[in-house]
Amino acid sequence: MKQDDIRFFTSWFKGYVKSYSSTDEEVQANLNYKEEHSLRVRDLMLTLGEEQLDPNSMFLAEVIGLFHDVGRFEQYVKYHTFKDHLSEDHAELGLSILERHQILFDHMSKQEKAIIFTAIRNHNRLMIHESVRGNTLLFCKLIRDADKLDILEQIINFYENPQRTPYFAVENNHSDNRYSHEIIQGILSGRQITYSSVQYPADIKLIRVSWFLDLTLPTASKIAKRKQFLQRIKVFIPETDEINEAFRYVEQVLSEHALK
């Protein structure tokens, strides 16, 4: 792959997103947020990949970042939600879109295409499929970390400044103090927490806190620390002894990981 291929993919992506343009302000705002998210995740892939990837792998990382959420636009316009369980898996949808438009075809080898597909397919799973190995596994880790970092930042910015991103499809109820104890237990025992355990608005925020435990690359943890994500999200979560304990635990794991 060459820089020209990246230019081609980027201009295709922008045109593709434009094809979903809507006069409905809410729809348009959410399409814009996903487009901006895709471009930021592409940049984060380059930041996270810098230390460990050769130039050609950096191109791959860039394409994975750019296209990881390409399914989001059709998903939102078709179902009016970004919730996969209420619509369909947006990663699989994205892969079928890339196939339908034959975008990767002609620009790369079969192996490169396979890496891109596996990384996109695994970006939103609870865990990376156990059959993924070697280089492909590294790209899976990169996209999952880059995606989490940007989603966390977007959500925290929204909590802090909701008027800056109107219609952002994220709840922002900060007044309900209830939360599920099993989510705290899940965080403290390092268990993967699924959205099925969510009962209250604070639960979703606690699940996002648990994401800090899943960051795989030390550089990602360093970025999370530098941007003070934990301290900033804590402001919007009810304060109890066990929640404080969970935060202390996550902070410790994050700090140790950032030093690796």
Query: Binding residues for Fe ion, per CB under 5 A?
Result: 69, 124
The least distance separating Fe ion from the CB of residue 34, rounded to whole angstroms, comes to 9
The least distance separating Fe ion from the CB of residue 37, rounded to whole angstroms, comes to 8
Per DSSP, 200 falls in state S
The least distance separating Fe ion from the CB of residue 219, rounded to whole angstroms, comes to 20
Q: Phi and psi for 106 in degrees, rounded to 5?
A: 80, -15
The least distance separating Fe ion from the CB of residue 89, rounded to whole angstroms, comes to 10
The least distance separating Fe ion from the CB of residue 145, rounded to whole angstroms, comes to 13
**Residue with token string 């996550």:** 250
3-state secondary structure 231-246: HHHHCCCCCCHHHHHH
Nearer to Fe ion by C-beta: 124 or 221?
124
Nearer to Fe ion by C-beta: 69 or 150?
69
Q: Is 210 left (phi over 0), alpha (psi -120 to 50) or beta?
A: alpha
Helix ranges (DSSP H) in 50-133: 55-67, 72-79, 90-100, 110-122
The least distance separating Fe ion from the CB of residue 162, rounded to whole angstroms, comes to 22
Nearer to Fe ion by C-beta: 5 or 92?
92
Nearer to Fe ion by C-beta: 95 or 243?
95
**Residue with token string 């901006």:** 36
Neighbours of 240 (CB within 10 A): 13
Q: Is 134 left (phi over 0), alpha (psi -120 to 50) or beta?
A: left
Nearer to Fe ion by C-beta: 124 or 136?
124
Contacts for 170 with CB less than 8 Å, ≥ 6 apart: 155, 158
Nearer to Fe ion by C-beta: 76 or 212?
76
Q: Considering only CA atoms, which of 220, 213, 218 is closest in space to residue 251?
A: 213
